[in-house]
Amino acid sequence: MEPLHRGPMAGRTVLVTGGTGGIGKATALGLATMGAHLAICGRDRKSTEGAARELRAVGGGQVEVFVADLSDQSQVRRLAEEVLERCSSTTQKGSRPCRSTQHTLPGALALWAPSTLNRGWR
């Protein structure tokens, strides 16, 4: 895939959980080629950093690395806080890439928690 520095995702930030392999990595690769600023999350720092290097090579853009186990509520909360902090401070062309009203800690947790809570996680 050839990277697009201008494309349908240029100037947008996307968090991909499970971005170190499988469907998550394939999704991240596709978004990278469309010009997205990526944030990927994995459970292991080494594999997450490795995936980030690959994504940077393919997309030529910025890739933020986050490490968290999403089966652990305290790590989900920490991840949400870190993503919001780093996303809010990242600027591209003078604008904040996080534009949605969902970009608050309660909003982020509301997006992640339902499927996890359905599995009995509290």
Any idea where the domains of the chain sit in the sequence?
13-109
User: φ and ψ at 26, to 5 degrees?
Assistant: -60, -40
Model confidence pTM above 0.85: no
Distance CA 98, CA 7 (A): 18
Residue 40's pLDDT is 94
Q: Which residue is listed with tokens 């990242």?
A: 90
Residue 65's pLDDT is 95
pLDDT per residue of the chain (122 residues) written in tens, 0 to 9? 444 456 788 878 889 999 999 999 999 999 988 888 899 999 999 999 999 999 998 877 789 999 999 888 899 889 988 988 887 654 444 444 444 444 555 555 555 555 544 544 44
Second CATH level (architecture) for the domain 13-109: 3-Layer(aba) Sandwich (3.40)
